[in-house]
A and B are shown apart, each in its own frame.
Chain A
Amino acid sequence: MVDTKVILSGWELDNPVIPASGTFGFGKEFADLYDINILGTFSFKGTTLNERFGNSTPRIAECTAGMINSVGLQNPGVEHVVKYELPEMKKYFHKKVIANVSGFSIDEYKQTCEILDKQDNIGIIEVNISCPNVHNGGMAFGTDPKNAAEVTKAVKSVTTKPVYIKLSPNVTDIVAIAKSCEDAGADGLSLINTILGMRIDLNKKKPVVANKMGGFSGPAIFPVALRMVYQVYEAVNIPIIGMGGVSTSDDVIEMMIAGATAVQVGAANLVNPFACKEIIEGLENSMNKYGIKSLKEIIGGAHNG
């Protein structure tokens, strides 16, 4: 038997496979297809203080080995999430979840996290300071080390739950931001969010998505994400949840060897709703193939020697 367990800030997960925020809703659509309790956990749709419709459609563009989305944080608002989504979720998911939070001001992040702090089925608060899809929303905090630290401190002051800051790849030096979050008290880091991208419709000669640009994700960004996880791992002493293009159990292992303690899977869920199930089922095989007995032991392995 191989050991797939990993630990995130004292929380033991059965395996490191976690559907990424925005690609799994609140889990309902997937729970209809398979028992999602096999997941390590999942990160639910980015939640803001107030309800948001998001951007106009089209919000989706296809790319080679990936996709662009400009959903723009459509969500029903934190009160609705706490009142309806979380109790409903408990019926089909019996583990704690990761709460993904976005905001447009420090105060908004704070208020939202304060409400989520009281929820017993939330294991980690993942603070998205990196959404490329909303003006001044999120990413403004994620592209400046000082602002990133401020959000981290503010959120830490209102919750006792572990706080993971989700970083943007759309920066010159992700390491500086990662360090700044660690210094400000972050318990962990999630990286990467989507890469700002664009497609043009050749018939219309206009951008495909209504918002012109959007977040690029999928297998095409895996090498970029892996590189960033590797660099950040060198610089910080807090756990990293690695993501960006992960689609197979081999990808999970590669991410972990680069420095991730756990791994999120995003776009892959959308094109194959069984992606996470297949990745989890493939873990043992991959581990045997590479002579791995325990996943905990491979974290950051690429940095030794």
Chain B
Amino acid sequence: MERVVFKIKDNKKIAKNVFEIKLEGNTDAITKSGQFVNIQLDGLYLRRPISVCDYSKNSLTLVYKVVGKGTEQLSKMEKGDLDVLVGLGNGYDTEISGKEPVLIGGGVGVPPLFNLCKKLLAEGKKPSVILGFNTKDEIFYEEEFKKLGVNVYVTTVNGEYGIKGFVIDALKNINYTYFYTCGPEPMLKAVYNSTTTSGQFSFEERMGCGFGACMGCTCKTKYGNKRICKDGPVLVKEEIIW
């Protein structure tokens, strides 16, 4: 983990209540897709955890949904500096994915899968991607994923775009060797119950520190107690206790 002051380069709305922010600064502390950062915002005591959507040597992209005070405040920042703790969490392990992993994202669970997809491609694998949203106006990153050259399946609950239903409805028609998923907990449970292979899940929890010091985020797993911020946010299917 490192504390880095990032410069806001761009911060724009990309879907209903969803923003993409591009930051400039040192990202050396990020070692894996699926890690997160913890952002300090003026006047708010706790930092806000947001997944790394994409990064390169000196730039960081985050995608976040406005749900409360902090994200609302962030969405109004056009420029300026952000105090960010970088390189938090374990991240996704790409080594055990097999040849054709499927990436399953729901809502703002989609962002961490973007860099993961790039990593898997760079490792010579053939990932496919399922992006689940409630409605058409919530959809984001369909084009970005397509540009990477992967098969993208979009679902909307009411069927106004793509496949009607939930991510697991799209999953039925896909062959996969392994899966990676991130999204709201009901979706994660559905994925858990309908997948036929092993896979990795990214979880959320309210955090005090985000780097393992306060025990604010601990959950029970079959492999012992784990801090979502430090021993997670990614857990493997075999260890999860719902």
Contact = CB atoms under 8 A, between A and B. Distances in A.
Interface of A: 22-25, 28-30, 32-33, 45, 53-54, 57-67, 69, 71, 74, 208, 218-219, 267, 269-274
Given A57-B206, A60-B208, A65-B45, A274 B3 contact: yes
Contacts of A59: 206, 208, 215-218
Contact of A271 (B47, B206, B225): B47
Contacts of B174: none
Nearest to A208: B206
A69 B213 contact: no
A218 B45 contact: yes
B121 interface: no
B144 interface: no
A53 B225 CA distance: 8
Contacts of A67: 45-46, 208
A217 to B, nearest CB: 10
Contact of B218 (A28, A74, A272): A74
A269 B213 CA distance: 9
B85 interface: yes
Interface residues of B, number: 25
Contacts of A45: 215
A24 B212 CA distance: 9
A221 to B, nearest CB: 12
B1 A60 contact: no
A33 B215 contact: no
Contacts of A269: 209, 213
23 contacts: A23-B213, A23-B214, A29-B230, A33-B1, A57-B206, A57-B219, A62-B44, A62-B45, A63-B45, A66-B45, A69-B208, A69-B214, A71-B215, A71-B216, A267-B45, A269-B213, A270-B208, A270-B209, A270-B213, A271-B40, A271-B45, A273-B209, A273-B213
Contacts of B131: none
A59 B205 CA distance: 9
Interface string B194-231: 00000000000111110111111111100001000010
A71 B214 contact: yes
Contacts of B211: 29, 273
Contacts of A32: 1
Contact of A54 (B3, B85, B218): B218
B interface, over-half SS? loop
Contacts, number: 93
A67 B47 CA distance: 11
A262 to B, nearest CB: 20
A99 B75 CA distance: 44
B45 A61 contact: no
B211 to A, nearest CB: 5
Contact of A24 (B46, B205, B213, B225): B213
Interface string B79-117: 000000100000000000000000000000000000000
A30 B3 CA distance: 12
Contacts of B218: 53-54, 57, 59, 71, 74
A170 B45 CA distance: 23
A19 to B, nearest CB: 9
Given A59-B206, A60-B206, A273-B85, A29 B212 contact: yes
Given A54-B218, A60-B46, A63-B45, 9 more contacts: A22-B214, A23-B213, A29-B213, A57-B218, A59-B206, A270-B46, A270-B208, A270-B209, A273-B209
Contacts of B40: 271-272
A57 B206 CA distance: 8
A74 B217 contact: no
Contacts of B225: 53, 74
A179 B212 CA distance: 37
Nearest to A73: B215
A33 B87 CA distance: 12
Contacts of B219: 57
Contacts of A33: 1
A269 B212 CA distance: 11
B241 to A, nearest CB: 12
Q: Which of B45, B207, B225 has the most CB of A within 10 A?
A: B45
